[in-house]
């Protein structure tokens, strides 16, 4: 029995989705979005070393010591699987154990907007799934791959660090590659995928300009690339992608994005109005000709109006999604206001329902 087992058992018993442990702090679990201490006593630095180095494979232990940060997956008997991020902070080792789904969930089971099926049916292009940590990006991308696996005869390559969800071949042939074990970096994994006759490539991290450059090249060459890496809405995601490249390359990158972007799906996980669960709000930008024109010209701020006018093809801003959930009574007005990107404009919407929550006029 591993030292971590009782803590993971407590997490599962409470219905939580993440365990946070750190030297000089009590263990805590995230339950319906809130961090709750499991006990009062703090873990010592020695206890943290004993807990984590009992679990990590030798290559991960070396990476943790060299880079002071490492990811791996952990199977808790036959009860659950976790994605684990280990890192050092002031008092010593820390780690977060994020609960993974026991199986790949479908788009329907996740309650995703219908447009995500249409995006997954694309034969080429770049689909970005963005949002803060814990917003379900990995689960959504896996559901899109699951849809492709069930409906299309092709070659799917997944690049993850660590490998989280395994897709059994159905109509497609599936190749799983774990970064650090099967490929040294995401950039080189994407470069290799171009030579592996891949039809679809899932990449769990497109945060670096090198990985994004490879992903854009693949998408423009006729491969469907599904990736994540930039938190925030569609506008800020595109701004950050372009800004990650040298100034002299940015016009070319905007051109590649305009040509290849199939869509951006931004997610936020929200507490339900009854406090008993969580649900997802989505912002969706589709790579229509008007959107492509604004991207090519670098007029990213105009994309908000494109999303507002594009409901017929499945587009919506985060504020539109929040308003629907709020008016349906599925989330509280204060939660919707807190998560809006344009809080000043959204406050006027909230004021129609709850004047006491509207922010004062400036």
**pLDDT tens across 272-291, in order?**
999 888 899 999 999 999 99
Q: CA angle, corner 349, sides to 346 and 353, nearest 5?
A: 135
Bridge partner residues of 271 (DSSP):
278
What confidence category does residue 101 fall into, taking pLDDT thresholds of 50, 70 and 90? confident
71 pLDDT exceeds 70? yes
Q: What would you measure as the largest C-alpha separation in the chain, in angstroms?
A: 59
pLDDT at 312: 96
Question: Mean of the pLDDT values across residues 242-268?
Answer: 97
In this prediction, what percent of the chain has a pLDDT beyond 70? 97
pLDDT at residue 362 tops 60: no
Mean pLDDT computed over 14-18: 91
Per-residue pLDDT tens for 124-148? 999 999 999 888 999 999 999 999 9
At 102-118, the pLDDT tens digits run 789 999 999 999 999 99
Per-residue pLDDT for 217 more than 90? Answer: yes
Residue 60 has pLDDT above 90, yes or no: no
**Average pLDDT rounded to a whole number, residues 169-176:** 96
Mean pLDDT across the stretch 22-27?
95
Burial, 79: exposed, middle or buried (Cβ in 10 Å; 0-12, 13-18, 19+)? exposed
Query: What is the rounded distance in angstroms from the CA atom of residue 266 to the CA atom of residue 39?
Result: 35
Average pLDDT over residues 167-179: 95
The CATH classification number of 5-100 equals 3.30.450.90
Beta-sheet strand order (sheet of 18-22): 34-37, 28-31, 18-22, 92-100, 80-89, 69-76
> Would you kindly state where each structural domain of the chain is located, as residue ranges?
5-100, 107-352
Task: Taking residues 169-181, report their average pLDDT.
Answer: 94
pLDDT tens for residues 334-351? 999 999 999 998 998 888
Please provide the average confidence, as pLDDT, over all residues in the chain: 93
Q: Work out the pLDDT band at 357, boundaries 50, 70, 90.
A: low
**Among 293, 295, 223, 243, which residue's Cα sits nearest to residue 264?**
295
Q: If one looks up domain 107-352 in CATH, what number appears? A: 3.40.50.300
Q: What is the pLDDT of residue 361?
A: 45
For residues 13-30, give the mean pLDDT.
94
The three-class DSSP label of residue 73 is: strand
**What integer pLDDT is reported at residue 232 of this predicted model?**
84
Q: What is the pLDDT of residue 358?
A: 52
Q: What is the pLDDT of residues 268-277, one digit of tens each?
A: 999 999 988 8
Q: Containing H/E element for 253? A: helix 250-260
355 has a pLDDT exceeding 70: no
| pLDDT at 149 exceeding the cut of 80 | yes
> How far, in Å, are 21, 289, 317, 344 from residue 304 at the CA level?
40, 15, 7, 15
Average pLDDT estimate for 222-230 = 92
pLDDT higher than 90, residue 321: yes
Global pTM?
0.86
């Amino acid at each position: 029995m591993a030292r971590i087992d009782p803590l993971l058992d407590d997490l599962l018993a409470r219905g939580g989705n993440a365990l946070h442990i750190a030297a000089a702090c009590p263990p805590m679990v995230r339950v319906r979005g809130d961090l709750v201490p499991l006990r009062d006593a703090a873990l010592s630095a020695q206890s943290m070393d004993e807990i984590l180095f009992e679990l990590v494979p030798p290559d991960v232990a070396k990476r943790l010591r060299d880079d002071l940060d490492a990811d791996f997956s952990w199977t808790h008997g036959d009860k659950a699987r976790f994605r684990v991020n280990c890192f050092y902070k002031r008092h010593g080792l820390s780690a977060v154990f994020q609960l993974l789904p026991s199986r790949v969930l479908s788009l329907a089971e996740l309650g995703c907007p219908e447009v995500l099926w249409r995006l997954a049916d694309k034969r080429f292009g770049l689909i970005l799934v963005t949002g803060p940590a814990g917003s379900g990006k990995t689960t959504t991308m896996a559901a899109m791959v699951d849809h492709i696996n069930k409906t299309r005869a092709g070659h799917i390559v997944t690049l993850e660090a660590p490998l989280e969800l395994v897709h059994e071949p159905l109509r497609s042939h599936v190749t799983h590659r774990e970064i650090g074990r099967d490929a040294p970096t995401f950039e080189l994994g994407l470069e290799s995928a171009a030579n592996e006759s891949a039809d679809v490539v899932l990449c769990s991290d497109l945060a670096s300009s090198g990985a994004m450059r490879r992903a854009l090249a693949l998408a423009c060459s006729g491969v469907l690339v599904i990736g994540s890496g930039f938190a925030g809405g569609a506008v800020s995601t595109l701004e950050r992608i372009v800004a990650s490249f040298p100034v002299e390359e940015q016009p070319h990158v905007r051109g590649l994005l305009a040509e290849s972007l199939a869509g951006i799906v931004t997610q936020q996980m929200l507490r339900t109005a009854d406090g008993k669960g969580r649900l997802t709000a989505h912002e969706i930008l589709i790579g229509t000709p008007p959107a492509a024109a604004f991207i090519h010209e670098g007029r990213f701020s105009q994309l908000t109006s494109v999303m507002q006018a594009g409901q017929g093809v499945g587009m919506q801003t985060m504020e539109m999604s929040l308003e629907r959930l709020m008016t349906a009574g599925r989330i509280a007005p204060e939660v919707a206001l807190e998560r809006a990107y344009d809080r000043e404009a959204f406050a006027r919407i909230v004021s129609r329902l709850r004047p006491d929550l509207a922010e004062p006029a400036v």
